[in-house]
Amino acid sequence: MAFDYSPWLRSDMMPHIWCPGCGVGIIVKALIRAMDACGWKQDATAMVSGIGCTSRAPGYVNMNTLHTTHGRALTFATGIKLARPETNVVVISGDGDAAAIGGNHLIHTCRRNIDLTLIIVNNAIYGMTGGQYSPTSPPETRAATAPYGNLDPAFDLCELCKAAGATYVARAHVGNAVFMERLIRGGMQHKGFAVIEVMANCHTQYGRRNKHPDPAELMHFIASGAVALAQWEKMSPEERQGKYPIGVLHKDTTKPELCERYAMLGERAMAKARKEARTEEKETITARDEILGATSGEN
């Protein structure tokens, strides 16, 4: 029943900095439970983040943690994973961090299908910096930099990642932490790039400006948009307005993962180098023998 978070938490740093009611804490807990369920060990696991409220998470988790620059977490994580492919690397990032400044890295990491697990905490706002709109803020919502309403449509991050080549794409919301944990677990166990988008509540910056100032109420509002995938597939475009599918939206286990592909490349390269070395050696010996042979012939 009760989960013992203490081995996974840097208790010295608690209580954490997130606002009362902020969904990030719920997601970090689900992430911890998922890692535990997968049998991941703290020593062999790295957590990487960028910048933002979500990105403060690694500071509270007891493992190898890396808090990088805005939008670039996936690039640092790629370096860690390629250098130590046998380890577990999880990336946690907000919607602005992952999809705005980090957008290029997001699509390429999807394309490469490297074995990382990415949790995108999508609260549709830039919380840490005071409530500016993000690429996932719904149109017409208010923000610090959209005082008259956001003009832009929002990304469907799951569709984006799927199109870019991610081989495990799932979505949950913050009020569904048990399901969220299972989806994250599935991503961690998947060999390839896994993205789990979690619709989250930021009542302080998003909610306050958009008629949802209470965290619990905002959680209910977010939950009201969730539709199980099987149901979603039967819905018409009109019915889909204002809703989003949750669950495992895409999974492909047929695509080889990057570290595996690179290992095979390494074997080929080493075999080729050895062959070339033998050829060179033979050529050197042949040349030497010819010279020696010519000399001894004169004798």
Partner 1 sequence: MAGGAGLPPAPQSQTMKLVKTVSSSGLYTLVVNETWCKGCRICVDLCPTHVLEMVEAPDRWEGAIVRVAQMDACNGCGICEVECPDFAISVYAPEKKKPVKAGETAK
Partner 2 sequence: MSYPVSGRAFMAGNEIISEAALRAGCTFFAGYPITPSSEIAAHMALRLPQVGGTFIQMEDEIAAMGAVIGASLAGAKTMTATSGPGLSLKQENIGFAMIAEVPCVIVDVQRGGPSTGLPTAPSQGDIMQARWGTHGDHAVIALTPLYPREVYVETVRAFHLAELYRTPVYVLVDEIIAHTTESFELPADEGLIKPRGEYAEAAVNTWRPFYDFFQGKHLHITGLSHTQEGFPTVNPEIVHRSNLHIVNKIVNAQPALERNEEYMLDDAEIAVICFGSPGRSAREAVNRARAKGIKAGIFRIITFWPFPVETVRKLTDRVKAVVVPEMNLGMLSLQVEKSAMRRDVRIIGVNVTGGVPIEPQQILTAIEEAYHGV
Q: Does residue 88 contact residue 45 with C-beta atoms inside 8 Å? A: yes
Q: Is 24 in the site for partner 1 (CB under 8 A)?
A: yes
Q: Is 2 in the site for partner 1 (CB under 8 A)?
A: yes
Q: Which of 33, 72, 173, 190 is in the footprint of partner 2 by CB under 8 A? A: 72
Rounded CA separation 116/78 (Å): 8
Alpha carbon separation from 251 to 168, 169, 186, 191, 208 (Å, rounded): 4, 6, 10, 11, 36
Q: Which of 83, 151, 178, 230 is in the footprint of partner 1 by CB under 8 A? A: 178
Q: Is 84 in the site for partner 2 (CB under 8 A)?
A: yes
Q: Which of 22, 53, 125, 161 is in the footprint of partner 1 by CB under 8 A? A: 22
Q: Which of 10, 208, 251, 255 is in the footprint of partner 2 by CB under 8 A? A: 10
Closer residue to partner 2 in complex, CB, 239/276: 276
Closer residue to partner 1 in complex, CB, 142/182: 182
- Of 3-11, 185-193, 262-270, 283-291, which part binds partner 1 (CB under 8 A)? 3-11
What residues contact 162, with CB distance under 8 A and at least 6 apart?
A: 169, 249, 250
Quick one: tokens of 192?
A: 């390839």
Quick one: tokens of 129?
A: 């910096």
* Helical H segments across the chain, by residue range: 23-37, 73-83, 95-96, 103-112, 157-164, 177-189, 208-209, 215-223, 229-234, 237-240, 258-298
Phi and psi at residue 92, to the nearest 5°:
-125, 130
Q: Which does 92 bind (CB under 5 to 8 A by kind): partner 2, partner 1, none?
A: none
Rounded CA separation 15/10 (Å): 10
Binding to partner 1 in span 243-272, by CB under 8 A: none
Rounded CA separation 82/78 (Å): 6
Q: Which does 156 bind (CB under 5 to 8 A by kind): partner 2, partner 1, none?
A: none
Q: Is 269 in the site for partner 2 (CB under 8 A)?
A: yes
Of 54, 58, 99, 53, nearest to 77 (Cα)? 58
Q: Is 256 in the site for partner 2 (CB under 8 A)?
A: no
Binding to partner 2 in span 29-68, by CB under 8 A: 42-44, 46, 48, 58-59, 62-68
Would you tell me which residues interact with partner 2 (CB under 8 A)?
10, 13, 42-44, 46, 48, 58-59, 62-69, 72, 75-84, 87, 104-105, 108, 262, 265-266, 268-270, 272-273, 276-277, 280
Would you tell me which residues interact with partner 1 (CB under 8 A)?
1-3, 5, 9, 11-16, 18-26, 29-30, 175, 177-178, 181, 214-217, 219
